[in-house]
Every structure is written in C-alpha cells, then in structure tokens.
Structure 1
Amino acid sequence: MTPTRRQVLCGLGATAFLGAPRMTFAADQMTLGTATITTVSDGHLVLPKSFLLGNLPAAETAPILEKYAIIGDVMHPPCNVTLLQDGDRTVLFDAGSGSGFMPSAGDLVDTLDALGVAPDDVTDVVFTHGHPDHLWGVLDDFDDLVFANAGYMIGQREWDYWTDPDTVTTIGEERASFAVGAARRLAAIEDQVSFFSDGQEVLSGVMAHATFGHTPGHMSFEIRQGSESVMVVGDAIGNGHLAFERPDWASGSDQDAEGGIKTRKRLLDQLAQDKMAMIGFHLPDGGLGRVERSGDSYRFLSEV
C-alpha cells in the first residue's frame, strides 16, 4: 500500500455550523495494487460530549480527553467516506449525511466533484450500517437518488433491522428519527439493493466482516490486493481517543454497548497484530492509519 498525497480542498459548497467558511478535504489518497483509495470528507458532526461518554467515570475520562485536546461540552467528529476506484468500478463505502441530518455535514457530493468524480460515476455504494451520517446521503433535497446509476449493498441483518416497523418503537426516543429516516431511504433503494452476510466477498477483492454492536448488523470491509490490505471499519472503532485507550469502556454511541466492546477489542487486536491499515469513519486526519498496541491499550497512528 503506497500513500501518494494529502489534498486539502477549501470552501466547498457549504458553511460551517456557525456560519464560517468550512475547510473540507480528501486525505491520504493511496494505491493498493491496481486500486486507488481516497478518504473523502462529508464534513463533521456536532455532538454533545455526553453522547459519547454516557455514564463513564468523569475522573478517568478527563485526562484521556485532555491528552487529545478535547475540551468543552461539544465534540466535532469528522466524517470520512471511503472512495475506491479500480478499473471500471467507482465504489463508495457509505453515502454520507446528505442535507437532512446536520448543517455541519453533507459535503460528500461537493468533495467528490472537486476530485473529478460525479454522482453518476459511482457504480456501487456499500454500507457499513444505517445511521444517518452513513445512509441519509442517498437522497437529495427532492427525494431523488443521488447515485442514480449505482448498485447498493448492505448486510442482510442491518437491512432487516432498519426495515422492521417495530424498530422505531424499540430503538429509544433519542434515535427514533434514525429509524424513520433509515426506513424511508432504504425503501428508495429497494429495487437496486443486494444483501450479504459475514465472510462474503461483496465485490472483487472486498470481503465483509461482521462487526456488530454499534448497530445490530454493522459491517466492516477488508479491501485486499495480493499481500496488501486495508480495513474499512465504519463506526466499529468510533473515535481516535477513548476507543483506543480504553476499548473496554462502553461507548454511548453504540446501540449494544457490550457487543460494541467485544467487537472493538477483537478488531483492534487483529489490526495491531496483523499490522493492517485501517480507515475509520470518525477518526482524525482523514481516518487512515494503523493501530499500535501498548499493554491493554492501543494508539491510532495516522498515515499523514
């Protein structure tokens, strides 16, 4: 795997949450065999710190957050969509937020345009899971498909969960809108969607791995050519600080906290042991890096 450049693209289409010009970027473009992989910014989220911390002990979390310069009551996690270009295939892993979730997100189409990729060029959209910042970007403001020529792929278990009419009443009040929005968008792609399960090759050189916990059917994807590979982990490893320093702590963003812990520890151990590159949707510097182990903790080592 050969990193080739980090490209910063300024002033793309939208303004930041407080009205200031926003800088968005595609970072860590690399080659993997015949493929080019680029992390593509969809902007960032604006979340209360309590959303991540939940009931974690403040005295123990404070020094970790301070170490990573995370202060105040609001967090701004980046959103990194993975773009894979190989031969006649242009593949997105997740579709971003679109305009319906948060004003600070929804930059994907503009960022792709700056890279010379039009929505109609996209041949495949592969979903890690059905949360708004990963799924809602399939529809534009007129409820038309943004990636009209694409085929869509999602894990069968994840599809079943978000299309179940009972999900809206069982997911909890804070996430009820997630369920309504997911069901509407999945209905829009129903005629163009195909399903997969753990261990299946969803596209040539792309293997699905079950990483349940963040959502009931969350999937990660190993992109491999020859002896080189990179793992697209979605939100299975949801941040660059607590998830690495204390993977045994529950994350408030995981729908199944215990399942999320089990998945996170297993995935971090695998990535560190195999020295495999990874791309995380909410990790810093474009999301591409590697995992280094130190005792029971880990570190995210950015490629930039």
Structure 2
Amino acid sequence: MTPGWQRFALGDARITTVLDGARHADGPHPTFGADRSQEEVAALMRQNLLPETRFVNGFAPTLVELGDDLILFDTGFGESGKANGYGKLVERMAAAGYAPDAVTIVVLTHLHPDHIMGLMTAGQPTFAKARYVTGAREFGWWTSDEAKNGERAGMAETVATFVVPLQDKMTFLEDGDAVVPGITARSAPGHTPGHMIFELESSGQRLMLTADTANHFVASLQKPDWKVGFDMDHETASQTRKRVFDRIAAERIPFIGYHMPFPALGYAEKLDDGGFRFVPESYQLAIANEDA
C-alpha cells in the first residue's frame, strides 16, 4: 500500500482512495451506542481486539477515472483542517499523479463539513475546472430556513460558505440518476436528509461507494441498530444501513466507505444476528481483473 493513497482497477475504471487525515478521539461510546451502556460498547470493542476508550476515524475521498472523466467523491477538510492533521487530499492527489485541475466532476455524497470544506482554497474553488454534483434533497435541506435557524445552523453556514457559491455549476440528483454512464446515485437517507451513495459498474464489475452509511467498521456494521451521534435521523439511518449492507453482503459487492479503515475498501459479511462483519479487500479484485 502506498502511504496516503491506494489505486486499484475495477473493469475499465481506475479508482484511487486518498486519506485526507485521521481523527484520534475518545470513545467510541457515546458517539456510537448512545442508546447502550458504556460497558456493552466496551465489550464489543474487546471482542474485536479494539481499545475500549479510544477510536480512530479516517476520511477517505475517492477518485474514479472512467472514460474521459476524473471524478472526485467528497473533498475532505481542506486547508481549515490542516491544524488538526487533516486536509491532505490535494498533496496526496499530487503524490498519486493528479492535479486539482484534472478533476472534471466533484460529487458530494452529502454536505457535512468533512466532505465539503476541501471545495475551497483561499476563497477560490480548489477544483477550478470541475462541475459539481450533489443530491437535490440534500442541497435543499441545508439551504432551507429550517437548517439555517435550527440546531445545525453552524453546519448550514458552512454549506453557505463552501457549497452555495458553486451552485451555478452544480447538477442536482434524484434517486436513480446517473453522474456519468456507469455511476448511479442511490438514495440513502438518515445520516443526513439527502445522503446518497453511488453504484459504479464497469465491464460487468460493480462497486458501491457508501459514504457515511456506516461510520465505524465494527460499531456501525456489527450493530446497525445502535444510535450513531453523527446521524441526524437515527431510525432512518439504521434502516438504511441494514438495507444497503444487506444488498452488499447478498450480492458480494465490494464497497468503499468514507470512514472505513484505510484504504477504505472491503466487503460485508452478514452475521447470524443481523449485523455485518467488515472484511478488508485483499486480492479479490486483482483476481477478478485477471479473470475478466
């Protein structure tokens, strides 16, 4: 694995995940399992050989080369995150051989700060030659009076600063719409009102970009019903997690999760109790490309 980025092929697509940074935090309780006891969450961590009172959360924007396009999914923290060790997307893109001006499309899975703050650098668009894509419902909610005047007003202000100035170059998607041929938007609400995931298909191979459907590779997947502090609608988010990962597990589709352990790529195995186990990708895709 190349530090900070990793590239693999999926059919005719070339995909690169980039580590924008990693947050070391106290927890995982109550961020994960706020509706459970601290001991129950700690026990799950012990069972999975993880620390009981600390966790690490990575941030993994993804680049997809497909046809004539270089498509970037989410943008990390940008320059405002550098003081905390984040905001490494552009420098790590350069290490992987990509300049910001090479990006033709920026897709925003949803409009939380860790996905949008890399859109601007020194007040100017970071990806100056790109057009932008996000969900119509997502953009509509964050620019609404409800968002601006409610408990998430600070996040709405961040959207106003980083996203709204780009709206003239923005395409708004509904469920089932295509970003480009071969990349389809799927509605996956709960984490935010208009959160979307994306299905990539190339030469008969498939991949799901699940964004923040699951925020922790153990707590969110093994216990999809547990409350997650980052989710705006806990019940809908739980239903979405189970629906999305039921399909990924049943159809054995590899997925990239924005907060999965870097390089953020793996599979989901359905467990007998209804949860899922994260299985990191090892050589499955290399063999699939050999056999194609």
**Take 1:74 and 1:167, find their aligned partners in 2: how far apart are those partners?**
31
Asked whether the equivalents of residues 163 and 186 of structure 1 are also in contact (C-alpha less than 8 Å), the reply is no
- Deviation of residue 176 (structure 1)? 3.4
Does 1:198 find its partner at 2:175?
yes
Does 1:215 find its partner at 2:192?
yes
Kindly report which structure 2 residues correspond to 1:198-277, keeping only aligned pairs within 5 A, or say none: 198-277=175-254
**Which residue matches 2:37?**
57
Please point out which of 9, 13, 38 is paired with 2:16: 38
Asked whether the equivalents of residues 100 and 136 of structure 1 are also in contact (C-alpha less than 8 Å), the reply is yes
**Take 2:155 and 2:53, find their aligned partners in 1: how far apart are those partners?**
23
Q: How many correspondences in the alignment?
A: 278
**Which residue matches 2:5?**
26
Corresponding letter in the other structure for 1:117: Y
- Deviation of residue 302 (structure 1)? 0.5
**Take 1:72 and 1:235, find their aligned partners in 2: how far apart are those partners?**
22
Corresponding letter in the other structure for 2:277: R
Name the SS of the counterpart of 1:45 in structure 2: strand
**Which residue matches 1:124?**
105
Instruction: State the TM-score, normalized to the length of structure 1.
Output: 0.87
Asked whether the equivalents of residues 272 and 293 of structure 1 are also in contact (C-alpha less than 8 Å), the reply is yes
**Which residue matches 2:290?**
none
**Residues 83-124 of structure 1: CA deviation (Å, up to 9, x unaligned):** 101232111011111122461211000110101100000000
- Deviation of residue 266 (structure 1)? 0.6
Name the SS of the counterpart of 1:38 in structure 2: strand
Q: Percent identity?
A: 33
Does 1:284 find its partner at 2:265?
no
Name the SS of the counterpart of 1:133 in structure 2: helix
Corresponding letter in the other structure for 1:135: I
Instruction: State the TM-score, normalized to the length of structure 2.
Output: 0.90
Please point out which of 2, 18, 37 is paired with 1:7: 2
Change (3 A) 1:193 1:47: farther
Q: Stretches of 4+ moved more than 6 A in 1?
A: none
Unmatched runs of 5 consecutive residues or more in structure 2: 283-292
Asked whether the equivalents of residues 156 and 197 of structure 1 are also in contact (C-alpha less than 8 Å), the reply is yes
**Which residue matches 1:166?**
146
Asked whether the equivalents of residues 32 and 226 of structure 2 are also in contact (C-alpha less than 8 Å), the reply is no
**Which residue matches 1:11?**
none
**Residues 129-180 of structure 1: CA deviation (Å, up to 9, x unaligned):** 000110111011x21100010000000000001111330332x2xx432221
Whichever structure has more strand as a proportion of its residues is: 1
Corresponding letter in the other structure for 2:119: V
**Residues 211-236 of structure 1: CA deviation (Å, up to 9, x unaligned):** 00000000000000132100000001
**Which residue matches 2:155?**
178
Asked whether the equivalents of residues 285 and 302 of structure 1 are also in contact (C-alpha less than 8 Å), the reply is no
